[in-house]
Structure 1
Amino acid sequence: MDSCLQELKKSRFIDTSDLTLDNGLFKSFDLILQRQLDQVWHVAPRRLKQIVYDLKTLRSIAAALLKYDSVTFLKYLHICRASESKECMWLFTDAAHAMFEYAKKRVYVLRRRVERQSAPKGLGKRAALDPPMSTELIPILEPMPKWTLVEDILDEIEEERAEGGAAFA
């Protein structure tokens, strides 16, 4: 999101005083951009329009991170990747690659194992060069943080009820 904002600040069509990463997380950010670009949208370069679309997509991904569980979020990221155009800037950044990798790690880990087999006779040293590999998918399925917080709150309520019940007895 930061790289998109830096590109946006280079534009002569936009007042950059309100363009900060913190402001980019609010819904009003899209309205601010829209108001500034409404009158010049027809003459704005395609790259500028693409940056505006990318920022909307990144805002929706940030909202989805808090709203969805890890499996649904990974699926949402794959849908975003499939629906984005070739001109999309954010999709080809290192940050986007890291985001996809972290989203995968929240759901599963791939572990490779070397399978031990006895070498067939007659192949000599060549058989030992490429041992067969197998890939094991290990599900992680990270719980949603908001459900962990709800569970903590319910435990706290239960403890307070137990303490309150003992005080009245």
Structure 2
Amino acid sequence: MTTLADRPRTALVVIDVQNDVVRDAYARDAVVGRIGALLDKARAAGAPVVWVQHSGDDLVEGSEGWRYVPELVRRGSEALIPKRYGDAFEGTGLEAVLAELGVGRLVVAGAETDACIRSTIHGAFTRGYDVTLVSDAHTAQDKTAWGAPPVDQVIAHTNLYWSFQAAPGRTARVLSAADVSFSAEAG
């Protein structure tokens, strides 16, 4: 279990599912659909939902490309964390929001697998959180032109290595969107 004291809740963290980030992403529509189903599950269970939104030189705050995809709609009561670095904890208020909500376990979905997803799951784990990566609810754009493997292999590799992540007092898991539960006993 999480090493964070008095943090029994599980939150869904949706990372960077923004128009320009996922425009040409691998299996975009299927991934966005599964994230929508996760939102429904989390909300039905009363679990906190935290949205993370990147901005930078190529992703200008307020632009159409910076906005979240229209299929996913944040409720006003759900936290929005603006960020400028890959790890959603770096230089943001994410930790304070999670502490206030009593969250010690994260369910992570979004984009991009080989950047912000990877950075954030590692950042969370080293900060004491239990982290579940949703195997079929994260994606990335094709970076083979720069020597990266095809996106399906990047996703498969990330899911594989995360399933073997270990540290004292914390758990790392990989579950499909269908297998994710936000009930208190699910952990």
TM-score normalised by structure 1 residue count: 0.27
Instruction: Answer 1 or 2: higher relative contact order, Cα 8 Å, separation at least 6.
Output: 2
Structure with the largest fraction of strand: 2
TM-score normalised by structure 2 residue count: 0.25
Structure ID, larger Rg: 1
Structure with the largest fraction of helix: 1
